[in-house]
A and B are shown apart, each in its own frame.
Chain A
């Protein structure tokens, strides 16, 4: 079992709708998680990080962490064509050591 699992998609969402991306992890001791966005041919860039149970909102983005169920999700409200990219979740182990990525979910926002 991979330490961080993601549905690779692709996920297609109409413009203006909510896009929901999910990730599960195996290490119960993991403390914090990150969501990165990667445009084709570019480097990943951080869009959200979360370390507490519950929700964290930043503009159109909401990250959700459920440590009991070992999943983390990212919601994108009012999806825009510019949100079309691959989204990668990543988490360190409890010792905040190596950072492991999921396989990424390719998101496409259709007009």
Chain B
């Protein structure tokens, strides 16, 4: 089983619908992140969390919200999806005490299409 699991892997929805992307990890890391990837734009940070009580906005948080339900779970919500939120979304975890001091471990991605 993957250490960082994202669900769903693919989702097609309509404008205005509420969508939740879920991320769970078995790595025991405190830090979790949500990124979106668009062609030619690299990875852009949406939200990040250092522990259950610590949640921070990233570069592009407008239109998104998150919930850290437990150390191992970090969910991303789109309250009212719009077409320009069509993208590939990645969840990642990190542990500053690790070998590389902050290496990100990624899930396999969730491809979201908003029609």
A interface list, Cβ under 8 A from B: 6, 8, 32, 34, 36, 43-46, 49, 51, 88, 90, 92, 96-104
Question: With the chains together, A100 CA to B100 CA distance in Å?
Answer: 16
Please name the residue on chain A nearest to B2 by beta carbon. Answer: A43
Contact (Cβ within 8 A) B96 A96: yes
- Which residues of the other chain, A, contact B90 by a CB distance below 8 angstroms? 43-44
Known contacts A49-B100, A49-B101; is A8 also within 8 Å of B40 by CB? yes
Contact (Cβ within 8 A) B45 A96: no
Total interface residues on B, using CB and 8 Å?
25
Known contacts A44-B106, A88-B42, A103-B40; is A96 also within 8 Å of B100 by CB? no
Secondary structure of the B side of the interface?
Answer: loop
> How far in angstroms is the closest Cβ of chain A from B93?
11
Contact (Cβ within 8 A) B100 A101: no
Question: With the chains together, A8 CA to B102 CA distance in Å?
Answer: 24
> How far in angstroms is the closest Cβ of chain A from B7?
15
> How far in angstroms is the closest Cβ of chain B from A20?
18
Interface centre among B48, B94, B100, B108 (most CB of A within 10 A): B100
The proximity string for B residues 32-43 relative to A, scoring 1 for CB distances below 8 Å and 0 otherwise, is 010100001111
User: Top 8 A-B pairs ranked by shortest CB distance?
Assistant: A43-B106, A103-B42, A101-B43, A104-B42, A49-B100, A101-B42, A46-B103, A98-B48
- Which residues of the other chain, A, contact B59 by a CB distance below 8 angstroms? 100
Please name the residue on chain B nearest to A102 by beta carbon. Answer: B42
- Which residues of the other chain, B, contact A96 by a CB distance below 8 angstroms? 96, 101-102
- Cβ-defined partner of A43 (8 Å) among B45, B100, B102, B108: B108
